């Protein structure tokens, strides 16, 4: 009895421009795909226990990002950002880009698996670990703002991230929080 295989090319669509992977068949041998909503529910169910999952995934993402850099001596910030964005996108975790505002660094994450508050801890732990591992600089992250299709994360030292979390919890807008951090507005 011969096994009929569904051609992989027509079964999987990879849209790197949006960091999405779509399966067009209900079963593929040795392939596992989890809808983003299921992943978001699992992350939400883990609650405070989400850090080991984020750390494990971050190690894998960071390893791939370093491989993408392929030993580039003294990579530029753009090369580092590209490698991290590609490593996340290859996993279907959406797309991202880094933006600098004075001394503040943010990551605009479009099309992540979720954007609700239960995903924030996972998102910040994942991104902070990836950036730390790839750059060799201890980095923390905090959700600066959310938008219809994603999150904006602030990357920096733990005290600055604590301020971002405090101000965001008060309902301050992302630009206002950045202005406060950069000394352009009173706290």
Instruction: Write out the DSSP string of 114-144.
Output: --SHHHHHHHHHHHHHHHHHHHSS--EEEEE
Phi, psi at 19, each rounded to 5°: 60, 40
Question: Could you read off the pLDDT tens digit of each residue along the chain, which spans 187 residues?
Answer: 444 343 444 556 666 667 666 655 444 434 456 788 888 999 999 998 999 999 999 998 999 899 889 878 888 888 999 999 988 988 889 999 999 888 789 999 999 999 999 999 999 999 999 999 999 999 999 999 999 899 999 999 999 999 999 999 999 999 999 999 988 654 4
How far is 77 from 45, CA to CA, in rounded Å?
A: 35
**pTM, whole model, 2 decimals?**
0.81
DSSP 3-state assignment of 46?
Answer: helix
Residue 2 pLDDT: 43
What is the enclosing helix (H) or strand (E) of 65?
A: helix 51-69
Q: Which CATH number fits domain 8-181: 3.30.1380, 2.40.128, 1.10.20, 3.30.70?
A: 3.30.1380
Strand partners, 104: 101
Phi, psi at 130, each rounded to 5°: -60, -50
């Amino acid at each position: 009895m011969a096994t009929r295989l569904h051609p992989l090319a027509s079964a999987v669509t990879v849209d790197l421009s949006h960091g999405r992977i779509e399966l067009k068949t209900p079963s593929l041998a040795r392939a596992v795909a989890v809808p983003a909503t299921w992943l978001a529910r699992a992350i939400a169910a883990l609650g405070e226990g989400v850090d080991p999952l984020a750390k494990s995934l971050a190690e894998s993402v960071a390893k791939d990002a370093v491989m993408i850099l392929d030993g580039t001596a003294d990579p530029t910030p753009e090369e580092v950002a590209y490698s991290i964005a590609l490593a996340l996108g290859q996993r279907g975790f959406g797309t991202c880009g880094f933006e600098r505002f004075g001394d503040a660094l943010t990551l605009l994450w479009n099309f992540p698996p979720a954007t609700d508050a239960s995903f924030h801890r996972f998102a910040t732990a994942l991104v902070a670990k990836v950036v730390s591992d790839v750059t060799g600089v201890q980095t923390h992250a905090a959700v600066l703002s959310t938008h219809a299709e994603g999150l904006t994360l602030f990357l920096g030292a733990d005290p600055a991230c604590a301020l971002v979390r405090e101000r965001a919890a008060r309902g301050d807008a992302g630009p206002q929080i950045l202005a406060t951090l950069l000394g352009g507005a009173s706290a």
